A and B are shown apart, each in its own frame.
Chain A
Amino acid sequence: MDNPFQKPHVLMLRYGLLSILAFIVVFPLVWLALASVRPQNEIFQPVSDFGWNTFIPSRFTLDNYRTLLNGDFPLAVKNSTFVALTTVLFGVVVNALAGFAFAVFDFRGKNLLFLLVIVSFMMPFEAIVLPLYVMIRAFGWANSYQALIVPEIANGMVIFLFRQFFASIPRDFYEAARVDGASWFYIFARIAMPLSWPTIATSGLMLFLAQWDSFFWPVVAASDSAYAVVQVAIARNINFEQNDWGGLFASTNLAILLGTIPFLLIQRFYVRTLISGGIK
C-alpha cells in the first residue's frame, strides 16, 4: 500500500476522498455532541445557517445535562446497567455451556439443534415479540426485570461464537484432563473457560450492547416507568405534546459515552491470544 514512488496527486486524491468519508461518518456525532451543550433555542439555528456557528456554540451550557440528571434518566441508566450486566453474567455462562456441548459432545440431534441455533439469530426479533410477550404475561413477569433479562440470555450468535472457539481448542487438552481425572464440568470451568477470555470478552460485549441498545422489547414488556431503560428514556424526550431536543441530544450523548465504557475496559483482551504455548 505505502508505495514511496506513488505519484503525489494520486496520494492527494486518496487522502482527500478518505477525509470526506471520515467527515461524513464523524460529523453527525460531532453535531450531536455540540447540540447537547447548546441552549435549547439555538440547537437548530446552525442547520439553516451553515458556517462556523455550526461548530462553535455561541454559548456553552450544561443545562441540558443538569435537567437530565434531575429527571428520570439516572433511574433509566441504573435499570439498563443492571439489566445489561445481569444478562452478560448469565448469558456468558449459559451460552458458553451450550457452545461447549456443541463443540465437544456427540449426541443425537446435535446437527439439527445447532441449525436451529443458527436460525435463531438469523430471524428478526420482531417476529417473535408477540408470542414472547404472551409467554412473559403468562409467567406474570410483565413489568419486571425478569421480562427484560431472561429472554435475552440465550443468544444464538454467542453460542455460535463459543462453539467455534471451543472446537478450535485441541482435543488433547480435554482428553489429558479426563485421563487426569477431571469431570466434564471441571474441564469446562478450569480448562476451557480460562482459555477463552477473548471469546468471553467479545460475547460479553455483544450481550451488553444488545441490552444497552434495546428499545422495542422493553417498550413492549416493561412499559412501567419504574423499569424504563436508557433507550426508552431517550425516546420519552419526544412526544405528541412537546419535544425536548436538548434532553434528547444530551441523553443520547450520555448513552453513547456510557455504552463505550465496557468496550474500553475489555479491549485489551482482543489483542491477547492465550491459546499458544501449551501445544507444541
Chain B
Amino acid sequence: MSSMKIDTLRKSFGELEILRGISLDVRHGEFVALVGPSGCGKSTLLRLIAGLEAATSGHIFIDDRDVTRLPPKERDIAMVFQNYALYPHLTVRANMGFSLKLRGDAKDQINKKVEEAAGVLGLEHLLDRYPGQLSGGQRQRVATGRAIVRDPKLFLFDEPLSNLDAKLRVQMRTEIKALHQRLGSTMIYVTHDQIEAMTLADRIVVMQGGRIEQEGAPLDLYDRPANAFVGGFLGSPAMNFIKGTMSDGAVKASDGTRLPVLSEASALDGRHVLWGARPESIVPDDNGFEGTVEVVEPTGPDTQLLVRVAGDPLVVLLRKRMKVNAGDKIRLGVVGEDTHLFDAKDGMRIAL
C-alpha cells in the first residue's frame, strides 16, 4: 500500500499540450478513477505515472519518492492494459510469473505466488493453457492476476473492461471491486465509462482537455457537479440542460416556460443561466411546466420519455409505469427541487 502525489504535471507532444498542469493526491489504499471523454488526457496521465512516457514538467511521487525520471521498472507499479497484452507464446502460469522471474525470484516462490493469485481469481484450472485458449473474461482475469502477483505499490488499470461484452463487464466490475476490498491496494483506474467510475471508485477525477474539472467522492460529484461538463458527464441518461434567464426565482426559457429552481434563487434575477435537471428527478406534476412527449421507451424497470420543452429535448426517467403516448402533452415538475444552475457563459455551478 502506498500513496501517490502528482504536482503540476505537464505533457506536450510537440506543439500539442495534452496535460496542462495536473495536481493530484492519492491516499494509501484509495481507489481513484480517472474519467473523461476520449482525448481528455486520462490515458496519457496513467502512462506518465507508469513511466511509459516522460513528463514535460512537474513531478510524480510514489511514497514520497520522486519517480518522475525513473524507468517503469524502478517505480514498483503494475499495469493492466486495455487489451491485456498477454504474451501469446507463454502459458497463463508463465504470463503471471513473468515479472517475478525478471525480478529473480526463486522458482518455487514464483509458483507459490502465481497459485495464490490464481486462487484469488479462480484461474487454478487454467494455469497451463495459452492465452489463445481463453475467453475474454478469463484473459482479463489473467491480466489482473499478472498485476497482483507482484504486490506492487500501485496498480494502474487502463480501461481494462472495455473489450468485454456488457454482461461480462458488469461481472468483472464487481470482481475488481471485491479484489480492491480484499487487497486494500492503491489503485488508479482509467475509464471512459462513468458507471464503472461511479461504482468502483472511492474518488472520481473528471478530466477534460488536459485539466481536472472536478474530483471527489462519486455521489458528491453526482449531486453537486462543479460545472455543466461534470454534470453532463456523470449519469446515464445524462443530465438535461435548458438555457434561460432568471426571473422571479425561476428560470424562464426562450418560449416563456418557467422551470422551477430552489426558492432562494430570487437574488439572481436577470442572469443568463443553464438549467440542469437529472432525468430521474423529473416527474409528472399537474402544477408543473408543459412539454410534448416525442418518444416513449419502456425498458422494464422504468420508462424513458423524450419530451420537447421550450424547443429543447428533455429526457425523463419514470420509475412508475404510466399510460402515455407520443404526441401527448404532459406537465412535469422536479422532485425535491433537485435542480442545478450553471452560468450560461463559463458553465460554472451557481451556488444556491
Interface residues of A, Cβ cutoff 8 Å to B: 170, 172-173, 175-182, 186, 191, 194-195, 274-280
Contact = CB atoms under 8 A, between A and B. Distances in A.
Contacts of B82: 172, 280
Interface string B63-92: 000000001110001110111111111000
Given A178-B72, A186-B102, A280 B77 contact: no
B236 to A, nearest CB: 24
Contacts of B146: 176, 180
12 contacts: A173-B85, A175-B52, A175-B81, A178-B52, A179-B50, A179-B72, A180-B73, A180-B98, A180-B150, A182-B102, A277-B131, A278-B86
The 9 lowest CB-CB distance pairs between A and B, nearest first, are A277-B132, A278-B88, A181-B73, A180-B99, A172-B85, A176-B85, A277-B88, A280-B163, A278-B86
A177 B95 CA distance: 10
A278 B84 contact: yes
A179 to B, nearest CB: 5
B130 interface: yes
Which of A172, A178, A179, A182 has the largest count of B CB atoms less than 10 A from its CB?
Answer: A179
B99 A275 contact: no
A191 to B, nearest CB: 6
A178 B84 contact: no
A108 to B, nearest CB: 15
A173 B87 contact: yes
B132 A178 contact: no
B89 A279 contact: no
Contact of B139 (A170, A176, A280): A280
B345 interface: no
Given A180-B98, A181-B103, A279 B73 contact: no
Contacts of B84: 172, 278-280
Interface string B127-160: 0001111001001000000100010000000000
Nearest to A186: B102
Nearest to B88: A278
Most chain B CB atoms below 10 A, which of A176, A275, A276: A176
Nearest to A277: B132
Given A277-B131, A278-B84, A176 B79 contact: yes
Interface of B: 50-52, 71-73, 77-79, 81-89, 98-99, 102-103, 130-133, 136, 139, 146, 150, 163
A275 B86 CA distance: 11
A179 B87 CA distance: 14
Contact of A276 (B81, B88, B136, B150): B88
Given A195-B89, A274-B89, A181 B99 contact: yes
Contacts of A186: 102
Given A180-B98, A180-B99, A277-B132, A175 B89 contact: no
Contact of B88 (A172, A180, A182, A274): A274
B85 A278 contact: yes
B88 A179 contact: no
A279 B131 CA distance: 8
Given A176-B79, A181-B99, A276-B132, A191 B73 contact: no
B102 A179 contact: no
Given A179-B78, A180-B102, A182-B102, 12 more contacts: A172-B82, A175-B50, A175-B81, A175-B85, A178-B51, A179-B72, A180-B78, A195-B88, A195-B89, A277-B88, A277-B133, A280-B163
Contacts of A173: 85, 87
A258 B52 CA distance: 49
A274 B89 CA distance: 7
Contacts of B79: 175-176, 179
A182 B146 CA distance: 14
Contacts of B81: 172, 175-176
Contact of A179 (B52, B131, B136): B52
Contact of B83 (A178, A179, A280): A280
A172 B52 CA distance: 10
Contacts of B72: 178-179, 181
Contacts of B132: 276-278
Contact of A278 (B78, B103, B131, B163): B131
A177 B52 CA distance: 11
B122 to A, nearest CB: 20
B74 to A, nearest CB: 9
B103 to A, nearest CB: 6
Contacts of B73: 178-182
B157 to A, nearest CB: 12
Q: Which of A191, A276, A280 has the most CB of B within 10 A?
A: A280
Given A175-B81, A181-B73, A182-B102, A278 B50 contact: no
A170 B83 contact: yes
A178 B85 CA distance: 12
A194 B132 CA distance: 15
B160 to A, nearest CB: 11
A191 B99 contact: no
Contacts of A278: 84-88, 131-132
Task: Give the residue among B71, B89, B150 with the most A Cβ atoms within 10 A.
Answer: B89
Nearest to B150: A180
Contacts of A194: 87, 89
A25 B60 CA distance: 68
B79 to A, nearest CB: 5
A135 to B, nearest CB: 40
B139 A179 contact: no
